[in-house]
Amino acid sequence: MVRCGDEHHGHGHCHGHSHDDDDHLKTEGEQDYLYGVVDRDAVLVLNEHEPNAGKRIIKPWAERNTLETYVESSVDDSLLIRIPFASSSSVKLRTLLLNAGPGEQTPDTVHIFTNSTPPIDFADAADRAALPPKSPQAPAQTLSNVAATNATQVVEYPLRVAKFSRVRDVTLYIPASQGAETTRVYFAGFKGEWEKSSREAPVGIIYESAPQLKDHVKVAGTAAGSNNLGS
């Protein structure tokens, strides 16, 4: 797995490491993975080549690196992916996980919106992505340096926690690929914590405050919340 933060002056550097204890690391990394609270059947994708393919990129942890299922854009290289969480859950997000590509089919930029009810369309997303960062309608965060890993590894992108509390849904707006005619995404997921929003006692999920996974690769000179990663 690759861990990416913000890149100085728009240049990212990911460094790979190989380890033999992968089974242990998967278990460790899964403890804050929010697959169970995503409403997969309600995932909505605009401009997808194959109908209802969007929910297939929401995968169990053990299947996060599989390449058999993916969502690919249709008439051009733009995608709009809305991922709702279960109505009974209150979610705080810390990390977006992506596996996309390969190569030029990787998203160039990803604008992340939260709590878009009713769902936004391409025109709405484009208008809001152009707003000043402090506007309440602007993206909660923008990833402007999406790593092209040739669809071989999941990349972790730290999120600004203050803007990702009490999240009901996330919309990923991908205006363009890195040069290909279509954009392809194999996997999308989140890490963070959640609690039931009913009267029952909260059920929390521990998140990584200081990631220890040895299979992560951190971009040199990066940190969550810097200017290049999100706006």
Mean pLDDT for the stretch of residues 153-173: 96
28 neighbors 224 (Cβ within 8 angstroms): no
Q: Alpha carbon of 190 to those of 15, 98, 140, 167: distances in Å? A: 22, 9, 15, 12
* pLDDT tens digits, 195-221: 886 544 444 443 333 333 344 444 333
* pLDDT tens digits, 111-141: 999 999 899 999 999 999 999 999 999 999 9
Q: Where are the beta strands (DSSP E) in the chain?
A: 2-3, 44-46, 71-72, 79-84, 89-100, 110-114, 141-143, 155-158, 169-174, 184-196
Whether residue 202 is preceded by a cis peptide bond, meaning omega within 30 degrees of 0, is: no
The neighbouring-strand residues paired with 45 are 81
Question: Which pTM was predicted?
Answer: 0.76
Domain 2-196 is of which CATH architecture?
Sandwich (2.60)
Dihedral Cα 210, 214, 216, 221, nearest 10 deg: 60
Domain ranges of the chain: 2-196
